[in-house]
Copies of this chain bind each other. A is one copy, B any other.
Amino acid sequence: MCVHNGGMTAVQIVESPAADACCAPAGAPPLCTEEAVAKAQHFKALADPNRLRLLSIVKAADGGEACVCELTGPLGLGQPTVSHHLKILVDAGLLHREKRGIWAYYSLVPGALERTAEVLATL
Return the chain B residue nearest A51 by Cβ. B40
B76 touches A49 (CB 8 A): no
Majority DSSP secondary structure for residues of A touching B: helix
Q: How many copies does the complex hold?
A: 2
Q: Is A4 an interface residue (CB 8 A)?
A: yes
| A interface residues (Cβ-Cβ under 8 A, vs B) | 1-2, 4-6, 11-16, 29-31, 33, 36-37, 39-40, 43-44, 46-53, 55-57, 59-60, 62, 66-67, 69-70, 73-76, 113-114, 116-118, 120-121, 123
A47 touches B53 (CB 8 A): no
> Can you sample 29 A-B contacts with CB below 8 Å?
A6-B62, A11-B74, A12-B74, A13-B73, A14-B76, A15-B76, A29-B56, A30-B53, A30-B56, A30-B60, A30-B74, A31-B53, A31-B57, A33-B53, A36-B50, A36-B52, A36-B53, A39-B52, A40-B46, A40-B47, A40-B48, A43-B43, A43-B46, A43-B47, A44-B47, A46-B120, A52-B123, A56-B123, A113-B121
